[in-house]
Structure 1
Amino acid sequence: MLLTAFKRYLNNFKGFSREIWILALITFINRAGTMVLPFLSKYLKEDLHFTYGEVGWIMVAFGFGSMLGSWLGGKLSDKIGFYKVMVFSLFTTGIFFFVLQYITSFWGLCFGMFTIMTLADMFRPAMFVSLGAYAKPENRTRSLTLVRLAVNLGFAAGPALGGLIIMGMGYQALFWVDGSSSVMAILIFALLVKEKKKAIQHDTDSPSIEVASVFKDKIFWIFLFISFVTAMIFFQLFTALPLYHSDQFGLTEFQTGLLMTLNGLLIFALEMPIVSYFERKQKGKIKIIFWGALMMGSSFYLLLIDFWAGMLVLAMILISIGEIFAFPFSNAFALSRAPRGHEGRYMALYTMSFSLAHIVSSKAGLGIIADFGYQVNWLIMGSFGVVAAFCCLWIQKLLVVESQAA
C-alpha cells in the first residue's frame, strides 16, 4: 500500500524536460547557498553593532533593491532575452557577495544591500520567463511547482548549513560560500542549458489579450493586488507569528521551528500531487487561487482563539494548504496572462508585488501589534485574505466579459 502511494507520488514528477530539471537544480543550489540572508539582521546587530533602527533601514534598502531588480530583470528579459539576464544576475551576485563582507559602514551597507538585491532579484522574473520557454504548456504549472519545491528545499537546507558555518568559521566564510554557490549554479546552467530563442508557448486556460501596455491591463492589476495581499499575510509566518508563539504561549525557538518545519513538509508532500490533480482536471487558475486566498485568510481567524496552543497547528496546516492553492497557480496565471513578447514585464510586476509585500508585512504587522495587540492584527490579516478572495470572483467576471468580446 505504501509502495503504491510512493510510486503514485513519484509519477507526479514525470514529463519534465531536461532543462526544467537543471533549472530546479540551480535554483536549489542558489537558494541553499543564500545563507547570509537568514542571519543578516543578527550579523548587523551583533557583529557590526548597528542599532535596531539602523538595521531596519538597511533591510528597507534590501527590499527596495529587490523591487528594482525584479523590474529590471523583467524589462531586460523582453529586450535581450531571459538567458543573458539569468547568467548576468547570478554571476554578478556571486562576485558582489565576496565584496559585501568588507563593507561595514551604515551608508555603505545600505548601498551594498540595495545593489546586491537589485542584481540578485533580476534573476526571478527571468527564471519565470525561462520556464515558459522550456516547459510544455500542459505541464507549465507543475514545472513552476518543481522550482518552488527546489526553493523550499534550498531554504530548508541553507539556514542549517549557514549556522554550522558560522559556528565553525564565522560570518566571513558565509559570504564566500554564498558567492561561490551563485557562481557555481550559473556555470552549471551555462554549460548544460542552451539559450532558447523560440517564442514562449502560451496555454489556453487564460488566453493572453494583446494590450497596449501592461499598465492598461485592468485584470492583471487586480490580480497583482491579490498576489500582494496573499504574500503579505503569508509573510506573517516569519515576522509576527514567531513572536506570538513566544509571547502568548511561551513556545521555545525549537517549538516554533517545528511549526515552520510542518509548513515545509506539507508543501513538499502535497504541493506537486495537488497541482498535478488540478492540471489533469483543467481547473481554472483563478478559481483555485480563490480557495487559496480564503484558506490563508481563515487561518488568521483561527488564531483569534488564543487559549489553546493546538490552534497554532491547525492554523499552520490551513495556511500551508492555502499557500499550495494560491502561489503555484498565481505564478502560472501571471505568465499565461502576458502577451507574447511582454512576458518579462508581466513577471517583473508579479515578483515586485512579493517584494513589496515583504516590506509591508513586517512594518504593518508589527506596527499593528505594537499599537493594538495581536488579536487586531490577526483580524485585519484574515480580512485581507477574504478581500483577496472576493477580488478573484471579480476577475472571473471580467475574464468572462473579455472572452466574449474577443
Structure 2
Amino acid sequence: MLKTALGRYINNFKGFTREVWILALITFVNRAGTMVLPFLSKYLKENLGFTYGEVGWIMVAFGLGSMLGSWLGGKLTDKIGFYKIMIFSLFTSGILFFILQYITTFWGLCFGMFIIMAISDMFRPAMFVSLSVYAKPENRVRALSLVRLAVNLGFTAGPTLGGLIILGMGYQGLFWVDGSSCIIAILIFAFYIKEKKRIPLISDDIETKTVPKSIYKDKPFWLLLFISFITAMVFFQLFTTLPLYHNEKFGLTEFQTGMLLSINGLLVFLLEMPLVSFLERKKVNKVRNIAYGSVCIAAGYYVLLLDSWVGILTISLILLTFGEIFSFPFANAVALNRAPKGQEGQYMGLYTMSFSLAHIASSKTGLEIIGHYGYQVNWFVMGSLGMLALFCCIWLNKMVRIEQ
C-alpha cells in the first residue's frame, strides 16, 4: 500500500525536461541562500541599534526595491531575453550581498536594500518566462508547482542554516554565504542550460485567448492581478500577524510557532504536486481552482473567530495551506498563458509586482487593524477579503468566457 502511494507520488514528478529540473535546483539554492531575510529585522535592531521606526523604513525600502525589480525584470526580459536577465540578476545580487555587510548607516541601508532587491527580484519574472520555454506545454502548471516546491523547501532550509551560521560565524558569515549561494546558483544555470528562444505555444485553454496588444487594456489580466494581490496579502498574514497572535492569545513560544508553521511547508511538499497533477488531468478550469483557493483562505481566517480552543490554529493553518495550493500555481499559469508572444516579461513582471505589493501591505494593514480594533476584527476583515477574491474569480471567469 505504502509502495503504491509512493509510486503514485513520484509519478507526479515525471515528464519534466532537464532544464526544468535545473531551474528548480537553482531556485532552491537561491531561496535557501536568502537566509539573511528572516534575520534582517533582528540584525538591524540588535546589532546595528536602529529604532523600530527606522527598521520599518528600511523594510519599506526593501519592498519598494522588490516592486521595481519585478517591473524592470519583466520589461528587460521582453527586450533582451530571460537568459541574460537571470544571469545578471543573481550574479550581481550575490556581489551586492558581500558589500551590504559593510553598510551600517540608516540612509545607506535604505538605499542598499532598495538597490539589492531591485536587482535580485529581476530574476523572478525572467524565471517564469524561462519555464514557458523549457517546460512542455502539457507540463507547464506542474513545472510552476515544481519551482514553487523548490521555493518552499528553500525557505524551510534557509532559516535553519542561517541560525547555524550565525552561531558559528556571526552575521557577517550570513552575508558571505548568502552572496556565494547566488553566484553558485547562476554558475550552475549558465553551465548546464543554454539560451533558447521562446516558441509560440498552441493550447485550447480559455486563458490563451488572444488579448489586446497593450497590457494596460487587458482587463481580465488586471482583474487577475487584483485577485492575486488580495489573496497574497491575506495569506501573508500567516507570517506577519499570526505568529504574534499565537503568543499573545495562546502563549505559544517561538519554537511552537515554528513547528506549527512547518506544517505549511510539509503539506505543500506532500500535496501540491499530486493535487495539481490531478486537476490538470481532469482539465478543471484554472480560474475555478483559484476560486477554490480563495474560499479556503477565507475559511482559514473565519475559523479563528472561534478562539476558545488552541486546536483552531492547526485547522486554520491547514485551510490556508490548501488555499495556497489551489490559488498560487494556477494564478501563475493563467498570467503566463495570457501573455502574447514577446510580452511574457511584462505580464510576469506585473504579476510578481502584485506579490511584492502584497508583502508591503500585509503586515502594515494587519497590524493597523489589530492596533485599533483587535485580532478578531482583523480575522473577519481578512476572511471577507478572501470572499471578495472569490467573487472576483466568478467575474473573471465570465469575462474570459465572453472574450472567448
TM range (shorter): over 0.9
Q: Which amino acid counterpart does residue 292 of structure 1 have in structure 2?
A: G
1:33–1:200 CA distance, 2 compared to 1 (3 A): farther
Is the 8 Å Cα contact of residues 202 and 336 (structure 1) preserved in structure 2?
no
1:197 matched residue in structure 2: 197
Q: Which amino acid counterpart does residue 14 of structure 2 have in structure 1?
A: K
Q: Which amino acid counterpart does residue 101 of structure 1 have in structure 2?
A: Q
Distance 2:15 2:394 in 1: 32
Q: Please tell me the root mean square deviation across aligned C-alpha atoms, in Å.
A: 0.7
CA deviation profile, 1:33-71 (whole Å, cap 9, x unmatched): 111001000000000000000000000000000000000
1:85–1:202 CA distance, 2 compared to 1 (3 A): farther
2:81 matched residue in structure 1: 81
Residue identity over aligned pairs, in percent, reads 69
Alpha-carbon deviation of 1:217? 0.6
1:174 matched residue in structure 2: 174
Q: Which amino acid counterpart does residue 32 of structure 2 have in structure 1?
A: A
Alpha-carbon deviation of 1:210? 3.4
Alpha-carbon deviation of 1:199? 2.5
The answer to whether structure 1 residue 133 and structure 2 residue 133 are counterparts is: yes
CA deviation profile, 1:56-107 (whole Å, cap 9, x unmatched): 0000000000000000000000000000000000000000000000000000
Alpha-carbon deviation of 1:200? 4.4
Using the size of structure 2 for normalisation, the TM-score is: 0.99
Is the 8 Å Cα contact of residues 208 and 339 (structure 1) preserved in structure 2?
no
Distance 2:338 2:288 in 1: 15
Is the 8 Å Cα contact of residues 211 and 338 (structure 2) preserved in structure 1?
no
The answer to whether structure 1 residue 5 and structure 2 residue 5 are counterparts is: yes
Is the 8 Å Cα contact of residues 298 and 383 (structure 2) preserved in structure 1?
yes
Alpha-carbon deviation of 1:255? 1.1
2:55 matched residue in structure 1: 55
Unaligned 5+ runs, structure 2 = none
Q: Which amino acid counterpart does residue 332 of structure 1 have in structure 2?
A: A
Distance 1:210 1:161 in 2: 45
Distance 2:202 2:227 in 1: 22
Alpha-carbon deviation of 1:283? 1.0
1:202–1:359 CA distance, 2 compared to 1 (3 A): farther
**Partner SS for 2:305:** coil
Unaligned 5+ runs, structure 1 = none
Distance 1:168 1:161 in 2: 11
2:184 matched residue in structure 1: 184
Alpha-carbon deviation of 1:203? 3.2
Is the 8 Å Cα contact of residues 300 and 317 (structure 2) preserved in structure 1?
yes
Q: Which amino acid counterpart does residue 34 of structure 2 have in structure 1?
A: T
Distance 1:198 1:320 in 2: 33
1:262–1:67 CA distance, 2 compared to 1 (3 A): same
Distance 2:267 2:31 in 1: 19
1:242 matched residue in structure 2: 243
More divergent stretch after superposition (7-16 vs 198-207): 198-207
Is the 8 Å Cα contact of residues 133 and 201 (structure 1) preserved in structure 2?
no
1:218 matched residue in structure 2: 219
Distance 2:316 2:113 in 1: 34
Is the 8 Å Cα contact of residues 228 and 354 (structure 1) preserved in structure 2?
yes
1:40 matched residue in structure 2: 40
The answer to whether structure 1 residue 387 and structure 2 residue 388 are counterparts is: yes
Distance 2:83 2:209 in 1: 23
**Partner SS for 1:170:** helix
Q: Which amino acid counterpart does residue 221 of structure 1 have in structure 2?
A: W
Is the 8 Å Cα contact of residues 136 and 201 (structure 1) preserved in structure 2?
no
Distance 2:60 2:36 in 1: 16
The correspondence of residues 142-291 of structure 1 with structure 2, limited to 5 A, is 142-205=142-205, 206-291=207-292
1:365 matched residue in structure 2: 366
Is the 8 Å Cα contact of residues 90 and 186 (structure 1) preserved in structure 2?
yes
Q: Which amino acid counterpart does residue 249 of structure 1 have in structure 2?
A: F
**Partner SS for 1:160:** helix
Is the 8 Å Cα contact of residues 124 and 351 (structure 1) preserved in structure 2?
yes
1:311 matched residue in structure 2: 312
Distance 2:117 2:209 in 1: 30
Alpha-carbon deviation of 1:254? 1.2
